[in-house]
Amino acid sequence: MFSSINDLIVAKMGDLGPLLVLGGLGLLLILVTLPFLLKKEPEPFDKLKQQARGMERGKARDPRDADLRRSSDRNDKLNRFAHFLEPQDKEQMSAARLKMLRAGYRGKNSVRMFHAMQFLLGIGFLVLGMAYTFAVSRSQELDMQAMAMSTLMPAAAGYYLPVYWVQRRLQTRQQLITDGFPDALDMMLVCVEAGQSLDQSIARVAREIAPAYPDLAEEFDIVSQEVRAGKERVTVLRDMAERVGLPDITSFVTTMIQSATFGTSIAEALRVYSAEMRDKRVMRAEEKANTLPTKLTLGTMLFTVPPLMVILIGPSIHGVMKAFGG
């Protein structure tokens, strides 16, 4: 029976027919299984919240309250996908949130959106790979390895594309923060020496450097807002160091905490640390300049040496060949 079905599929769709049928059945099974995976039984507390929200909805007259309720309803709908799009382990979830924060994605549903994009791009690129394989197999014969590579490689690329995007965004953001940190320290030192407190200096620096270094300004603004909200400065600074994940920021936080703990001058600590950061920036620039000749060596060998050899040896070779030919 299976042989006859296989022969029928090959006769109708070609040699690639069984693979396409299996792929279609796999997608069908995924689409059938998704509603059961995404189905989440409502919790008793959620039912009570919905009842209370329904009772208060009729009493609400302020349009801002209605907007807040609508946004909370949307978040509740997204919570249905949490057990499918989020890691269930607390450590993995914390690591995923921290990575998204360091990449600059601070939304509540950033982890869910990341895994949703992985799933959608993986499925979408798998369908494109199957379509491409089917189109190529109509014109030329493909072996099983070529069919598997042309079908599965796009799916793997689509799955890992969000990972590459977030990692690239994280590295770019950290580089921008590293570039702007010495200038921010100099400005903070000026503010502290002018008589402002550290909290006021951080808020002022966040406003001033926003056009040039928006990522660093955002971090300083978060620190300022959390301090105004009543959170301890030590905790706020440590949270910033953990969010950014850079050794320079961690050293700055440690310096400020030790200066506040031992009662030393914050201005003096900032002066010493800002000078050190300027020196490190110069050293990084010198390091890049020193590695430039090594990087240019390959290009020089490929594009300079062959033309030079042709110019120098070419006439001699031409003369020797002409002499022997004559």
Type of residue at 80: R
145 & 208 share domain:
no
Q: Which residues contact 97 (CB under 8 A, 6 or more apart)?
A: 110, 111
Asked if the structure places residue 295 within a domain, the reply is: no
Asked if the structure places residue 290 within a domain, the reply is: no
Asked if the structure places residue 320 within a domain, the reply is: no
Q: Which residues of the chain have pLDDT under 70?
A: 1-2, 5-6, 9-19, 22, 26-27, 29-88, 325-326
Residues belonging to the chain:
326
Task: Round the average pLDDT of the chain to a whole number and report it.
Answer: 79
Domain count, the chain: 2
Asked if the structure places residue 296 within a domain, the reply is: no
pLDDT in tens, 137-188: 777 777 777 777 888 888 888 889 999 999 999 999 999 998 889 889 999 9
Structural domain range at position 11: 2-59+73-170
Q: Which of 147, 170, 193 is the last residue of a domain?
A: 170
What percent of the chain is predicted at pLDDT more than 90?
8
139 & 263 share domain:
no
pLDDT of 16 reads 63
6 & 139 share domain:
yes
215 & 163 share domain:
no
Q: What angle do CA 110, 113, 115 make, to 5 degrees?
A: 110
pLDDT of 73 reads 46
The answer to pTM > 0.85 is: no
Q: Which residues contact 252 (CB under 8 A, 6 or more apart)?
A: 181, 185, 241, 273
52 & 160 share domain:
yes
pLDDT of 171 reads 92
Asked if the structure places residue 120 within a domain, the reply is: yes
Q: Which of 170, 192, 226 is the last residue of a domain?
A: 170
pLDDT of 161 reads 92
165 & 177 share domain:
no
201 & 156 share domain:
no
35 & 159 share domain:
yes
33 & 107 share domain:
yes
Asked if the structure places residue 29 within a domain, the reply is: yes
pLDDT of 9 reads 67
pLDDT of 6 reads 66
Asked if the structure places residue 49 within a domain, the reply is: yes
159 & 27 share domain:
yes
Asked if the structure places residue 240 within a domain, the reply is: yes
Q: Which of 170, 195, 214 is the last residue of a domain?
A: 170
143 & 267 share domain:
no
28 & 149 share domain:
yes
